[in-house]
Structure 1
Amino acid sequence: MDSGQYTFVINIPARFQTDLLAGRQPAIQVNVDATAMSQAFMGAGYISRIFQRELQAYGGQSEAATQAPVKLVSRALFNTNLEGGWFLAVIQIVNNITILAIILTGTALLREREHGTLDHLLVLPLTAMEIMLAKIWSNLLVVVVCTWLSLEVVVKGALGVPLSGSMSLFLLVTAVYLFASTALGIFLATLARSTPQFGLLAIPVIIPMLLLSGGSTPLDSMPQWLQWVMQGSPSTHFVSLSAAILFRDAGLSVVWPDLLALTAIGLLFFVIALLRFRKSLAS
């Protein structure tokens, strides 16, 4: 559950049937990872009804019986008041990071091309990789600083969300994600001829990254083929890493598979964007 592999864990104690037949009213513990909000609340209700139906059938009671065989007692260990804004605040920051990374980098590159600044850079002894790294580094630094300020001032300060995870680890993951997203923004900018065309091109890329990454809709609720497709999106791994680090206080030993996948996707995007950027400079 700490690594995000399971949302529900049911703990049935020893001698449960013996205690049930003896009328001792034994307890079953159901652990629910509520960072997947909609899936957690619906799943907890389904599990409760499954237990009630099975125990009614076992005891020979009808479903219309007035006394339910199972009494559900919920104890929230995190977010005890069940404030939905706590989770939405972090998800909105993740979504804004995605939008800013792609839009800022692509727009900056296109505006420099339109104003002739890019031609001036080509006169200097700079390679295409150095120009790309400069674009990525500058936008990465700005967005990481803004992300840290948003978490400290707005999420923790104004909203009072108790983020228990390591802020430095989250900012490191954010930097890796920005490396992948800004490279994607540069790639889209090399395909567009103007800033309005880039905006139209970015819409069908950004919207699926926001809606299908697992932040708005649980990834497990999607078709299996779509889950596999979204594993190639850096936003899917970033949403998983953000929830694990900030809410579950997961360390590097837990999140390293997603971090490794995010790094590999970022390097792939960077290489593709670099090849396309070199081709656009030569043309």
Structure 2
Amino acid sequence: MWARCATIFRLGIKELWSLWRDPMMLVLIVYTTTLAVYSAGKAQPETLNHVPIAIVDEDVSTLSQRIATAFFAPQFVGPDLIAPQDVDPGLDAGRYTLVLHIPPNFQRDVLAGKVPRVQLNMDATRMMQAFTSNGAVQQIVQLEVAEFVQRYRSVPAPAIDLAVRARFNPALTPAWFGSVMELINIVTMLSIILTGAALIREREHGTVEHLLVMPVTPAEIMLAKVWAMALVVLVATWVSLTVVIRWAIGVPIEGSIPLFLLGTVLHLFATTSMGIYMATLARSMPQFGLLMVLTMMPLEMLSGGITPRESMPLWVQYVMSLAPTTHFTELSQAILYRGAGLSVVWSSLVWLLAIGAVLFALALARFRKTISQMA
């Protein structure tokens, strides 16, 4: 038993040295766990910022001018006053995200108690900016019109007092969500890439034949690759969580980091086995890359990290309950956001262990078949 453990340890050290001599893989690890996580947390603007807007003022009244001056920095770029024929060219050229069209006799109709129509044209290719600014423009126009008619700004008293308390993210800061979810996706991606690339690299360099003549079993070879690549991803995850997410971005971590790392180890056991299985199916790195695309997209999009699983069709929920990313995402959100303990996440840990055991068995059977064909 001790001899086998020593063999697995030495083979794992060989994998670490091979990774150390691969500068592209090292750059990938450093970039994904630092700059990629930081940009994912900071790339989503929290408020409107310098939205380009233009106004078509066919009324040229006091009210229309009040509306035009209500759009100011830093939420909006100072609005350009343009003619109606310049609307489509401006939107087509991407100079404006919003164009507000105020019709003739707008002020007169408002004072007469009519309901004039104001048209807001949006460049929906800038989806997030257009979606956020749509409600802001409507609110600004309505407040300016109400103030002009009533001669003072007032807000009608609500019939009820609705007290909103946002748990776990009081300010609804997007960086708290984006950075952690990016790290969760990167853990899955790196573990699959590193183990799969290590096996394919050995096949391309002919070192698998050297292993076949050594007194080692396929299980020992696989376990060495699993623990070595999992250790690299685990250390990179801890550094990213501590330095980038907690310190650079300022996301408060509520739960136990050791418990999160325990869940990460079980998740890495499953995903590294998945990487080895995919490497036995692919004959080259380009084929492995194509398999990565087909695998990573559903794992990331349907795991519950982007949209809640409850909003997905039932059959998708049942299928994705067999994926390790689903339980790892659930576990990570519970620990890092809500401060959950072992009594809450134990079921996710059991699921990850069971899924990892099944994936390891499948990968081992496929790996043995591949080695026998090479022999």
Question: Do these two structures clear the TM 0.5 threshold for a shared fold by scoring above it?
Answer: yes
**Which structure 2 residue ranges, 5 or more long, are not aligned?**
1-155
Match of 1:157 in 2: 247
Kindly state the Cα deviation for residue 68 of structure 1 after the two structures are TM-superposed: 4.1
CA shift for structure 1 position 69: 3.0
Identity of aligned residues (%): 56
Q: How do residues 1-283 of structure 1 correspond to structure 2 at under 5 angstroms?
A: 68-283=158-373
Distance 1:75 1:252 in 2: 26
Q: CA deviation at 1:247?
A: 1.1
Give the deviation of 1:217 after TM superposition: 1.3
Of structures 1 and 2, the larger Rg is shown by 2
- Tell me, yes or no, if the aligned pair for 2:168 and 2:338 is still in contact at 8 Å: no
One-letter amino acid of the counterpart of residue 249, structure 1: G
Aligned-residue offset at 1:82 = 1.8
1:188-235 per-position Cα deviation (integer Å, ceiling 9, x unaligned): 111111111111122111110011000011111100111001001000
4+ residue runs over 2 A deviation: 66-71, 75-81
Deviation digits for residues 82-105 of structure 1 (CA, Å, limit 9, x no counterpart): 211111111000000111011111
What's the CA shift string for 1:56-89, capped at 9, x where partnerless? xxxxxxxxxx764332222334332221111111
Take 1:186 and 1:270, find their aligned partners in 2: how far apart are those partners? 9
Q: Distance in 2 between matches of 1:207 and 1:140?
A: 21
Classify the secondary structure of the residue corresponding to 2:165: coil
Cα distance between partner residues in 2 of 1:133 and 1:86: 35
* Cα root mean square deviation, aligned: 1.1
Partners of 1:105 and 1:264 in 2: how far apart?
20
> Deviations for 1:12-54, whole angstroms, at most 9, x for unmatched residues?
xxxxxxxxxxxxxxxxxxxxxxxxxxxxxxxxxxxxxxxxxxx
- Partners of 1:251 and 1:160 in 2: CA distance: 22
Cα pair 2:278 2:291 within 8 Å, conserved: yes
Q: Which amino acid aligns with 1:230?
A: M
Which letter does structure 2 place at the counterpart of 1:248? R
Q: Distance in 1 between matches of 2:261 and 2:241?
A: 10
